[in-house]
Amino acid sequence: MIGPFVRPPAPNFNVTESDLTEQGFLTVKRLQNVLSAIVDNVALEDASFNNTIRALAQADNELNFDSVAPLSGIRKAASEAVREINRGYLSMFQHEKLFTLVDAVYDRVREEHLDYESKRLLDKIHTMFVDNGMKLKGDDRDQFDEITNRLIELRAAFIDSMASEPGTVWKSEQALAGLSRGKLESLDQDSDGNRRINFTRPDVTAVLRQCHVDETRREVFLRSQAVFPDNVPIFQEAMVLRDEAARLLGHTSFAAQRLEYKMAKTPEAVDKFLAELNGRLQPLIRAEIQTLQKLRNTREDSSFYFWDLEYYHQKLLKERRVDHEVISEYFPADYAIQQMMSVFQHLFSLSIEEMKGRADDAVWHPDVKMFAVWDSENAHFLAYLYIDIYPRPGKVNHAANFNIRPGYIDRDGSRVPVATSLICSLSPPSPDCPALLQHTEVITIFHELGNGELVADRLAHRQSLIETTGIHDILGKTQYAMFSGHRTVRDFVETPSQLLEYWCWSPETLQQLNCHYSYLSDSYRQAWCRLKCEADAKQPSKELPRELIAELIASKHVNQGILTSRLVALGMFDMQVHNPKSSGDLETTNIAKAYNSLLQEVTHLAGPKDGVSMGNGYATTSHFI
């Protein structure tokens, strides 16, 4: 047990390409040694929970792999090492002799007195063997093994593609009319005065929300939906192979296989739920779009486009006295995050300390903040938390929480503390202004602090880039890494995050989180005055006025029908590609057309009408893969 307010060693990020290659090799070697020790020393009649299942769980505990790196060469080496580990992990659940032992323990589990979590572990490990083809024979088994190994390659390639540069477009300042002065000045400028828009979340969101020029919003939206084109064929092949593998196991589809372990149980139940929800949303969606069309006030075109939604949504909010650009000035990122830590300390009886005097190799990039977390009631160390919120080349373009090291009980009975990271891509600070959070970004950070793990590949019950809550990681007290953080039951995995979002609509919490950035330093105050073009401009109130907080909270459900309908459409698409009538249907389906048509049909938002594709948005996120 780690003593009161004593920090254990933290993960080391001072690694080279050769270090990562060696770590990958040694990790696989250790795993192979564990498997050999079990099958060579445990007779079938002697197989028990301790000498077989617990031994496998201990090997799983130690499979965590630190792969966060800022340099492209390091990331490539990390990706290759993770592929090798994934193959090694897959081989563990496709080992004939090992499955014979696991099956024997499973059949006589009633003879052993196990605690609840250990019984769950036995069930899960046995199911993982079965779902990885161990009951298949002959050609079916060979085909299944070939498919699962290919899926490892496809998913790794998909994630690697998402780490590539998404591209840029140069636009004149006239074409970017409406962008805030601060945002405009943060964009690179060429010799002709044009500004560079990167197809990353901060830039795309700013254009869609602020830019007055319809054609600019249209181009930026459509091009942002067409990034990572290499993922399009990868996605289609992966969907076909998933379906083939599920059918080999005796399921009607991949969705049927996965839903067997969830509350919904069947694809039919999911389809019915989504259809009912969609039907109930339709009147609300039509009413919301009518309201937005009145703001658009364009008689010659009755359509309301995807690239119009954010812009007119913001206009509607301003009519209701909710100006998110003004509100963001009260949420400087560093200050707001520090205040979030105070909220979490109070809610969960934690003590959270930022480690400012750390060594350079304690983090993977200078932008990263590192925190140590203790249980304030007994002073026991719980976790290291890393916060990395600014975009840079090769970094994921969405918000997520990635587990670096799971928590579990080690071989000697001590608890191994968690290491977890919050990853975002927010607009970075400038010399004159700190990074400012939109209220939606405050919600996102609360959600992710309350979500994540980059784990092995498409193995049963393990998904790549799965998000759970940082708090879920930190506060979990499981015996086994197999149940740590995101690896809890899938129906529950987002519950802590969804719960924590509600604090972002609480007046008391919002009051605690905010402070106008001009009060953080005299230089910021002077910069704010210059931004207003008045040297003696009256400084705004230090805290967000209570009436603005009330207006913000009152706006919570504005356009909620449209926003919810997008989630319904994504759920329907998920079912469409994972529950086809046959694998042949997937091979001939134009997935991009199916995705875009479904989004338009359910949301009532229009795409381009001149034959231009609406892109491949499904291949720009890891959620489906």
Residue 111 carries which DSSP code? G
Rounded Cα–Cα distance for residues 452 and 249 (Å):
29
> What digits encode the pLDDT tens for the residues 485-496?
777 888 888 888
Q: How much is the pLDDT for 430?
A: 85
pTM of the model: 0.88
Q: How much is the pLDDT for 69?
A: 52
- Domains in the chain and their CATH numbers? 17-162 (1.20.1050.40), 168-211 (no CATH), 231-320+559-619 (1.10.1370.10), 327-554 (3.40.390.10)
Pairing of strands 168-171, 418-423: unpaired
Q: How much is the pLDDT for 466?
A: 35
Most confident of 71-80, 389-398, 567-576: 567-576
Percent of residues, the chain, with pLDDT higher than 70: 92
**Which residues, in sequence order, are CB contacts of 62 under 8 Å at separation 6+?**
30
The DSSP annotation for 142-172 comes to: HHHHHHHHHHHHHHHHHHHHHTS---EEEE-
- Kind and range of the H or E element at 198? strand 195-198
How high is the mean pLDDT of the chain? Answer: 88
**Comparison of pLDDT for 610 and 597, the residue scoring more:** 597
Q: How much is the pLDDT for 453?
A: 31
Residue 112 carries which DSSP code? S
608 torsion bin: left (phi>0), alpha (psi -120 to 50), beta (else): beta
Residue with tokens 């963001």: 328
Other residues' Cβ atoms within 10 Å of the Cβ of residue 374? 23
Task: Look at residue 3 and tell me whether its pLDDT is greater than 60.
Answer: no
> What digits encode the pLDDT tens for the residues 112-139?
688 999 999 999 999 999 999 999 999 9
What average pLDDT does the segment 207-215 reach? 97
Q: How many Cα atoms sit within 13 Å of 51 on the Cβ side?
A: 16
Q: How much is the pLDDT for 455?
A: 26
Q: How much is the pLDDT for 454?
A: 26
Confidence of residue 70 (pLDDT cuts 50, 70, 90): low
Q: How much is the pLDDT for 146?
A: 96
Rounded Cα–Cα distance for residues 566 and 562 (Å):
7
Contact indicator for 255, 586 with CB cutoff of 8 Å: no
Task: Look at residue 536 and tell me whether its pLDDT is greater than 70.
Answer: no
Radius of gyration, CA atoms only, the chain: 26
Rounded Cα–Cα distance for residues 204 and 310 (Å):
11
- Taking alpha carbons only, the member of 461, 577, 457 closest to residue 131 is 461
Contact indicator for 458, 467 with CB cutoff of 8 Å: no
> What digits encode the pLDDT tens for the residues 412-462?
999 889 898 888 888 888 888 999 999 999 998 888 876 533 222 223 333
Q: How much is the pLDDT for 472?
A: 58
Confidence of residue 534 (pLDDT cuts 50, 70, 90): low
**Comparison of pLDDT for 237 and 73, the residue scoring more:** 237
> What digits encode the pLDDT tens for the residues 173-205?
999 999 998 899 889 999 999 999 999 989 999
Rounded Cα–Cα distance for residues 135 and 157 (Å):
29
Rounded Cα–Cα distance for residues 163 and 75 (Å):
9
Confidence of residue 339 (pLDDT cuts 50, 70, 90): very high
Rounded Cα–Cα distance for residues 214 and 211 (Å):
8
Q: How much is the pLDDT for 477?
A: 83
Can you point out the beta strands (E) in 376-443?
Answer: 381-388, 400-405, 408-409, 415-416, 418-423
Confidence of residue 546 (pLDDT cuts 50, 70, 90): very high
> What digits encode the pLDDT tens for the residues 86-106?
888 888 999 999 999 999 999
> What digits encode the pLDDT tens for the residues 264-299?
999 999 999 999 999 999 999 999 999 999 998 776
Q: How much is the pLDDT for 428?
A: 86
Instruction: State the amino acid at position 40 in one-letter form.
Output: D
Q: How much is the pLDDT for 235?
A: 97
